Amino acid sequence: MVTEITDGAHISPETSGGVFDFVSTRDLSPGGIDFEGSLKTSPETYEYMVRAGCQPLDGDVLFSKDGTVGRTVVVRGNHPFVVASSLIIIRPNQDKLTSRFLDYLCQSHGVQEQVRSFVKGAGLPRLSIASLRRIDGVFPPLPEQQRIADFLDRETGEIDAFIADQEELVAVLQERREAVVTHAVTEGLNAGAPTKNSGVAWFGDIPLQWQLRKLKSIVSTPITDGPHETPEAQSSGVPFVSAEAVSSGAVDFEKIWGFISREDHARFSRKYKPQRGDIYMVKSGATTGICAIVETDLEFNIWSPLAAIRCGASALPRFVLHSLRSHNFQDSVALHWNYGTQQNIGMKVIGNLSIPLPPLEEQAEIAAYLDRETAEIDAVIADAKEAIEVSKERRAALISAAVTGKIDVCNHVATMGV
């Protein structure tokens, strides 16, 4: 069924004088390949990679094997590009297997479940070419493959259009939410209030009675973080929270790292013990700058990617949370983070970042206003995201049913490596 299965180059692209596209997993999407966002490589490296077999051809199927494993796309046209080692090039035998059917087959539940069973690695999930060859699929005769692909092109096209509309709605609402928050925490709710220059470019003018305060000056205890060690995971015990659990503005205990022992919790609590009203900022990784507030008295602890900010008497936690989630503050975070193996921001740097701070009464008024306004926007965003997830599930179920013969298809079982 498959003429050739190979992977991309196990070298870093020479981007100096980059001309040719160097595509990796991040450049794949349901709509195709994002060449505009891809890295560029030099003519010399491009020629080397072509000779090494890293150049896909029209009709090949690209399959991601590192990181986000199992993402696929059909190569269309003769655009000159090469691929990174994170991608596998599958070249179907066009006399027996159409590219579009193979693409849909790879997206089906049956294949994806097999992929997950072969994936290795916790930090960076990976699938080997040898494992991919062992995956079974259902292969009907060529005319039936074409009929299935035509059917799925039509049906998934409508679903994809709906998903794209909902994703655009989410993006617009998120921009609106950010604008509402940013305006309120930098300009206040009184449009006619006199202003003064904040002295910081990304904050501009602020109300006359407000002060620009560094975070380290508004906390009751020094800004700290969780333990710089990996505890032994337990099947139950004290919840242990890391960056994944703080993406929504509150701690999501369904997305915790896991559980730790009472002994580890007691030891870690000597440095920091969470309490209601504490604010967490992600200080390392892809979500650096994301913030959330503790809204529970549940006993738990945090890991080192999170910085803990505990407000003092001059600052209300919910006002500070909104300030830290504003566009202006997030810009200041991005300006100060460093890059090593990943982006990160130091504890001292966080303490020296500033926010405009009004009197306590005005903080309470602004926080209450933003709680109401953002709750309404968040509800609409949640509905749109749920519609997206339901549509994605429907899309996956439709593909799986079609390629396995549950929708007017006869079954013929073969193996991908054959």
Greater confidence, 62 or 94?
A: 62
CA distances 61 to 5, 11, 87, 220, Å, are 10, 21, 10, 57
Q: If you search the block for the tokens 């020296």, which residue do you land on?
A: 352
pLDDT of residue 272: 96
List, in order, residues 6 or more apart from 22 with CB less than 8 Å away: 13, 15, 38, 39, 40, 41, 81, 82, 83, 84
Do 253 and 280 contact (CB within 8 A), yes or no? no
| β 81-83/20-23 pair status | parallel
Q: What is the mean pLDDT of residues 84-90?
A: 90
pLDDT of residue 60: 94
Cα–Cα distance measured from residue 331 to residue 355, given in angstroms and rounded to the nearest whole number: 12
Question: How are strands ordered across the β-sheet holding 61-64?
Answer: 2-7, 87-92, 61-64, 72-74
List, in order, residues 6 or more apart from 28 with CB less than 8 Å away: 34, 62, 64, 71, 72, 73, 87
pLDDT of residue 138: 83
Tokens of 221: 């205890």
Closest by alpha carbon to 209, among 195, 192, 225, 199?
195
Cα–Cα distance measured from residue 196 to residue 213, given in angstroms and rounded to the nearest whole number: 15
pLDDT of residue 15: 60
Q: What is the mean pLDDT of residues 87-116?
A: 92
Share of the chain above pLDDT 70, in %: 93
Q: How confident is the model at residue 78 (pLDDT cuts 50, 70, 90)?
A: confident
pLDDT of residue 314: 96
Do 248 and 295 contact (CB within 8 A), yes or no? no
The listed CATH number (3.40.50.720, 3.90.220.20, 3.40.50.300, 1.10.3720.10) that belongs to domain 189-357: 3.90.220.20
Share of the chain above pLDDT 90, in %: 66
Q: How confident is the model at residue 405 (pLDDT cuts 50, 70, 90)?
A: confident
Closest by alpha carbon to 42, among 23, 17, 22?
17
Closest by alpha carbon to 333, among 286, 283, 277?
283
CA distances 378 to 174, 287, 319, Å, are 8, 19, 17
pLDDT of residue 418: 39
Same topology between domain 2-138 and domain 189-357: yes
Tokens of 412: 């013929």
pLDDT of residue 5: 79
Q: What are phi and psi of 302, to 5 degrees?
A: -125, 160
Q: How confident is the model at residue 38 (pLDDT cuts 50, 70, 90)?
A: confident
Q: Where are the domains of the chain?
A: 2-138, 189-357
List, in order, residues 6 or more apart from 185 with CB less than 8 Å away: 319, 322, 323, 326, 355, 356, 366, 370
Q: 266-288: per-residue pLDDT in tens?
A: 999 999 999 999 999 999 888 89
Cα–Cα distance measured from residue 328 to residue 226, given in angstroms and rounded to the nearest whole number: 26
Query: Of the spans 10-24, 135-149, 338-352, which averages the highest pLDDT?
Result: 135-149
Tokens of 278: 């504490």
**Residue 16 reports pLDDT greater than 80:** no
**Residue 17 reports pLDDT greater than 70:** no
For the entire predicted model, the pTM comes to 0.79
CATH superfamily of 2-138: DNA methylase specificity domains (3.90.220.20)
Mean pLDDT of the chain: 89
Neighbours of 10 (CB within 10 A): 9
pLDDT of residue 412: 37
Which of 22-26, 36-40, 121-125, 388-392 has the least mean pLDDT? 121-125
